[in-house]
Amino acid sequence: MLFNSLEFPLFLIVVLIGFVLVSPRWRWAWLIAASYVFYGYGNPANLIYLGAVTGVVYVCGLAIGSINSAVRRIAFAAGLVAVLGSLFAFKFYDFLASELQAAGGVSVPRLGLVAPAGYSFYAFMAASYLIDAWRGGLAPERHAGRVALYLAWFPKILAGPIERATAFLPQVRSTIAADPTRTVSALQLIGWGLFKKVVIADNLAPVVDNAFAIAAYASPLELLIAVYFFAFQIYCDFSGYADMAIGISRLFGIDLMENFRRPYLSRSVSEFWAQRWHISLGRWFRDYLYIPLGGSRAGTIRTYFNAMAVFVVSGLWHAGLGYGVGWTFLIWGAMNGLYQWVGLATGPMRAAVGQKVPKLAESRWLGALRILLTFHLILLSWVFFRATSIDQALLILQKVWNGLPAIPGILAHYPFTADHITGAALILLLLGIELIEERRPAAERLASMPRPVRWIIYYAVIFAILVLGRWQGAEFIYMQF
């Protein structure tokens, strides 16, 4: 079941009514049942995998809490191998088997496994639960229902955020209760997230899909437009899901962490990944990979190695069914790792210049240039993320590069379609809203407006969703990864 499907509003209303009517003591059970219905809708087999992961995490978590050190080690290792090993098998076994056969002619049996929707997300949540329990930062939960709800909570199961048990479980250990004063902010997030998905992302998708499907025959300008459109398509698709997940959870009195913070206004690639894009995944890699490897404390060479390792592993994590399992994701990860290297190498010089010329460091024009540079570096890497092969990505980049000198002259006569014009207008609208929100949160601005103005804005968003939204039930991109 998708947030943008016609049946989801009915499902949500039923769950909310049941949540109010059920005794507070048993609300956790009602929410688990709702989450399993949501996740199993359309493909009940998904529940087998979810149930298996939940059982492994619960049992191994209890064993990790044992006073016997050998039992703790075995349980921790077994739990991680089961969770992360299954994730690896789903994503890469058949791909690597085919690559080995192509390279050496060795026949390797295939498993034919397809990862269930959202498996990467709840597998990472399961791993974080086990690691936190092993480190002692989390007391293993003895209530199996709470562990099940942590992993299965329906707003986040398909595409995150990758919530930590240390933040989620305390909220469901006490009485789960909605806060009526936060209903407005919850509905605002749901509406804005839905707008980003069905109005912006899904209206950009046809232009992107058509150009990438015929990359060898598309004109340089057509490919360039598709590359720009994809940057905003994937952002609005993914952040739209996150906004809706946070808003829906808030209706039930459960808080999820922020996952996006206007990423295309970042002034550096480091800021983009650490503070603004897929924040929950960035923190996961920071806490469970980068810091355990030594972070920036083990010398210059290790710092560079650790930074690259994070992005290579991130590339592996992103490899999925969405755009095929291929080497393009490793290149995408390595490119962003290389950007980090450049940032680390130039950091001392930039700091020194900032101290000597403080006006330059505070310049709005320089800040705008840094935002543009960061955006285009990320844009370049998105080509490899979206392309179905390395050859296709290189072809697109080559055609765009060779065609750049002629593009200004072509623009005046290019036969732009309604999809082009609508997409460009929506991107400009999004950027305008985010520039305003960068100064002050939109919720605060809305709260300070007169009621008639607020309702005009609400009705305008609803009207745009109904009229401009594409309601073909298009999946969220990150569900497939």
Cα distance between residue 84 and residue 64, in whole Å: 17
- Per-residue model confidence as pLDDT tens digits over 369-399: 999 999 999 999 999 999 989 999 999 999 9
Burial 439-462 (b: 16+ CB within 10 A, else e): eeeeeeeeeeeeeeebeebeeebe
Q: What is the mean pLDDT of the chain?
A: 91
What is the H or E stretch that residue 244 is in? helix 220-251
216-222 long-range contacts (CB < 8 A, ≥24 apart) are 216/395, 218/399, 219/403, 220/399, 220/400, 220/402, 220/403, 220/404, 220/406, 220/407, 221/403, 221/407, 221/410, 221/411, 221/414
Q: Which two tokens mark 174?
A: 């006490």
Tell which wins on pLDDT, 323 or 431.
431
What is the H or E stretch that residue 437 is in? helix 418-439
pLDDT of residue 66: 84
Catalytic residue annotation: 318
Provide CB contacts within 8 A for 135, sequence distance 6+.
Answer: none
Phi, then psi, of 153 in degrees rounded to 5: -45, 115
- Per-residue model confidence as pLDDT tens digits over 178-219: 888 899 999 999 999 999 999 999 999 999 999 999 999 999
pLDDT of residue 93: 76
Looking at the predicted structure, is the pLDDT value of residue 323 above 60?
no
pLDDT of residue 9: 94
pLDDT bin (cut points 50, 70, 90) of residue 476 is confident
- Per-residue model confidence as pLDDT tens digits over 67-105: 888 999 999 999 999 999 998 888 877 777 777 777 766
Provide CB contacts within 8 A for 302, sequence distance 6+.
Answer: 293, 294
Tokens 């192509």, located at residue:
102
- Per-residue model confidence as pLDDT tens digits over 149-161: 999 999 999 998 9
pLDDT of residue 122: 94
Tell which wins on pLDDT, 34 or 297.
34
Q: Angle at the Cα of 369 (from 423 to 221), degrees rounded to 5?
A: 35
Highest-scoring range by mean pLDDT, 259-263, 327-331, 409-413: 259-263
pTM of structure? 0.92
Tell which wins on pLDDT, 360 or 226.
226
